[in-house]
Amino acid sequence: MSSGMSRKSELLGRRLQAARELAFVGREEELSLFGAALHGGRCSVLYVHGPGGIGKSALLRRFAREAALAGRSVARVDGRTLEPSPAAFEAEAEAVLRDEQAVLLVDTFERIQGLEGWLRERFLPRLPVGALVVIAGRFPPDMQWQADPGWAQALEVMSLRDLPPRDAEALMDCCGVADELREPLLAFAGGHPLALLLGAAVAVKDGRASRRWKPNQDVVATLLDQLVGEVPSAAHRHALEICAHAYMTTEDLLRAALPDDAAAMFGWLRRLPFVESTSLGLYPHDVVREVLEADLRWRDPQGYADMHDRIHAYLAEKVRTAADRDVLAAVTALFYLYRDKEVMGALYSWHDEGEIQEDVMRPDEVGALLRVADAAGGEASAACADFWVRRRPEAFRVYRRTETGEPVGFLTWLRLQEPDDVECAADPIVAAAWAHARATAPLRDGEHLAIARGWVLPQYRYDSPVADPLQWRIIANCLRSERMAWSYLAIPRPGPPVVEALRKHDMHDIPDNPCLGDVPFTLFVHDWRAVPPRAWLEGFNGSPVPHGFGGAAATTGRLAVLSQEEFAEAVRKALRHLSRPDALAGSPLTRSRLVVEHAERDPAKALRDLLEEAIESLCEDARSVKFHRALAATFLHGAPTQEIAAERLGLPFTTYRRHLVSGIERVCTHLWHRELYGTGVNRLAHSR
């Protein structure tokens, strides 16, 4: 009976080993390096490091097989089961000290990381020449190894990363993943072996799984345990969740979202094995990011929303205040918060940064602009580009391939304050924009409209690394421009997904389609007076209006855009109804920017407060005190008729009327100025 049980055990062991070998894919470079060390290479110690689940243990099992096939004896030490002491380690590994053909494999070294100095200084120097040691753990070796000239040739460090796409596909082949499940599985797991294996195991057994597959909470919880493990405190977990949600985490961002101990939390984050450091900040491994996001959304939806709002507010302010050279990175970081929104996929490709560089256009690049414009839209397009580059060269940006410096795209941002017959004749797109603005809601004093248009080589037109920086620049200009009434985005022959996505961004196509040559363009327009930047950004949070927008504005999601005459008439009517909250609530002024930016809950009350404040402000100038007295007697002190108000003031009626009319005009002018130029016109910092 004992013999039979032994044969079954051996058979099961072989089956397990065969399954593991079948699921091992790729890692050719690491196997080649190990093979060289195994057969007499100069390296005596291989140090393999990488985040949890990346395949270190699987690689060590393959190393053991290769060593056995080469006739070498193999000893193993596992940090998960070993007491972290020199005596315990040496008891497990002492055989390698007597055998120059031995191979020692040390797994899960992060559990016994405290032995690193002893291992380097005391144990490893006692190895016989020819023995080989492989250490595998989550953390890279400390700097003492590199600082010691003696280890320069004896140590080889391997950073284990995700499987490349070809190997990830091979792993899914091994798991029997159906074609329709591969895209969502790769989107979630990328090339992370453990995430691929866990996701595949669940997805393959789920008869309802489809292209919309998402990992369930069991998969998420298992990956969190394996990849992240226990964290020191709730504050550490929150810092990790912030790092997962943000595009890049800096100490400043961490301080805005997690005020306590931001410096200590940042220092802890940068030492984690699954967190990378760059010149822009820290970011976690993609799978760690995904599982942390999924877990927090499921476990604490309100906490997730609060964290999102704090990060959004910080990044929105960064967009507003960043230097021009830094603004594209700021916009990228802000919009990354909404990467999971379906509407984002049609417009933004999220290509790796660095492939394309934006710059101001140099005079010697006019020829390149014309060639790109001709390739993009023919002779008429090139003629239009030539007209504008001669007339407004400062309006152009160039996008170059980093590798070659070749210009592959250009953007023009035309800032126009009044129609010009020459410009409208030269450019049908500009003529169409002015026609729309004048017919819909004309510009007011000091306002301007802007027209954005790109010229991009055909091979870079769609889903290319040029598209994102070009669009980030347009968005940055929209969010940072003061006194911009309308923005127009001109796109040649946009497909239905782009049209729908832009409409969801509150950029709507106008009926008229201007043509350059035989190429029709669609103009997408946004009125920044009706939906200012902070309200527009709030739309990405799923709400049409930001916090504090009440009354009619909360119902429509848009502000009222009044001409100066309409505004003045509304002020006169509101003054007459100053004591009637119901009448004030129906005033178009309650949907003006002036009132909305001051209304916490009740726009009618906010309007009354603003009118009373404007009346009282007349006391600040001795020459206006007489106007204040006429307004106060008429609207604040409840005189039933103007004749009685004049009598109370002891003024002839004609004098009283002159003072009243002048006072009303001054209130109208004061409030109109605040409507156009008042504080908060473009205050992104107040957005959620």
Together in a domain, 174 and 59: no
Together in a domain, 557 and 467: no
Together in a domain, 208 and 252: no
The reported pTM is: 0.76
Helices (H) and strands (E) in the chain, counts: 32, 15
3-state secondary structure of 335: helix
Together in a domain, 118 and 239: no
Share of the chain above pLDDT 90, in %: 51
State the average pLDDT over residues 658-680.
85
Together in a domain, 43 and 172: no
Together in a domain, 511 and 382: yes
Q: What is the pLDDT of residue 678?
A: 65
Q: What is the pLDDT of residue 684?
A: 34
What angle do helix axes 286-299 and 301-321 make, rounded to 10 degrees?
120
Do 458 and 373 meet the contact criterion of CB atoms below 8 Å apart?
no
Question: Quick one: pLDDT band at residue 350, thresholds 50, 70, 90?
Answer: low
Q: What is the pLDDT of residue 193?
A: 87
Quote the CA–CA distance of 539 and 507 in Å, as a whole number: 12
Is the confidence at residue 230, as pLDDT, over 90?
no
Together in a domain, 507 and 582: no
Share of the chain above pLDDT 70, in %: 89
The closest alpha carbon to 481, from 344, 684, 181, belongs to 684
Together in a domain, 363 and 503: yes
The closest alpha carbon to 192, from 220, 164, 216, 218, belongs to 164
Q: What is the pLDDT of residue 129?
A: 87
The answer to the question of residue 351 being in a domain is no
pLDDT per residue as tens digits for the range 451-482? 999 999 988 876 678 888 999 999 999 999 98
pLDDT per residue as tens digits for the range 360-374? 999 999 999 999 999
State the average pLDDT over residues 484-504.
91
Together in a domain, 154 and 243: no
The whole-chain average pLDDT of the chain stands at 86
pLDDT per residue as tens digits for the range 279-300? 889 999 888 888 899 899 999 9
Is the confidence at residue 542, as pLDDT, over 90?
no
The answer to the question of residue 629 being in a domain is yes
Beta bridge partners of 413: 452
Q: Give the residue from 131, 159, 187 where a domain finishes.
A: 159
Together in a domain, 387 and 519: yes
CATH number assigned to the domain comprising residue 470: 3.40.630.30
CATH number assigned to the domain comprising residue 285: 1.10.10
Question: Quick one: pLDDT band at residue 545, thresholds 50, 70, 90?
Answer: very low
Give the number of other CB atoms < 10 A from CB of residue 392: 15
Count, residues in the chain? 688
Is the confidence at residue 108, as pLDDT, over 70?
yes
The answer to the question of residue 349 being in a domain is no
pLDDT per residue as tens digits for the range 167-188? 888 888 887 877 777 888 888 8
Quote the CA–CA distance of 127 and 153 in Å, as a whole number: 15
Quote the number of domains for the chain: 5
| Buried b or exposed e, range 255-294, using 16+ CB within 10 angstroms | bbbbeebbeebbebbeebbbbeeeeebbbbbbbbbbbbbb
Do 51 and 138 meet the contact criterion of CB atoms below 8 Å apart?
yes
Is the confidence at residue 548, as pLDDT, over 80?
no
The answer to the question of residue 346 being in a domain is no
Q: Amino acid identity of 604?
A: A
Together in a domain, 284 and 313: yes
3-state secondary structure of 582: helix
Q: What is the pLDDT of residue 12?
A: 62
pLDDT per residue as tens digits for the range 557-604? 588 888 889 999 999 999 999 989 999 999 999 988 888 877 667 889
Question: Quick one: pLDDT band at residue 551, thresholds 50, 70, 90?
Answer: very low
The answer to the question of residue 675 being in a domain is yes
The answer to the question of residue 199 being in a domain is yes
State the average pLDDT over residues 375-379.
93
Q: Is 22 exposed, middle or buried (0-12, 13-18, 19+ CB in 10 A)?
A: exposed
Is the confidence at residue 7, as pLDDT, over 60?
no
The answer to the question of residue 42 being in a domain is yes
pLDDT per residue as tens digits for the range 633-652? 999 988 889 999 899 999 99
Together in a domain, 239 and 325: yes
The answer to the question of residue 347 being in a domain is no
Q: What is the pLDDT of residue 353?
A: 65
Domain span at residue 625 reads 551-685
Q: Give the residue from 337, 366, 388 where a domain finishes.
A: 337
Collect all residues with Cβ–Cβ distance below 8 Å to 589 and sequence separation of at least 6.
Answer: 560, 567, 570, 571, 574, 595, 607
Question: Quick one: pLDDT band at residue 245, thresholds 50, 70, 90?
Answer: very high
Question: Quick one: pLDDT band at residue 428, thresholds 50, 70, 90?
Answer: very high
Quote the CA–CA distance of 277 and 288 in Å, as a whole number: 15
pLDDT per residue as tens digits for the range 23-53? 688 889 999 999 999 887 778 899 999 988 8
Is the confidence at residue 681, as pLDDT, over 50?
no
CATH number assigned to the domain comprising residue 128: 3.40.50.300
Q: Give the residue from 288, 307, 337 where a domain finishes.
A: 337
Is the confidence at residue 546, as pLDDT, over 80?
no
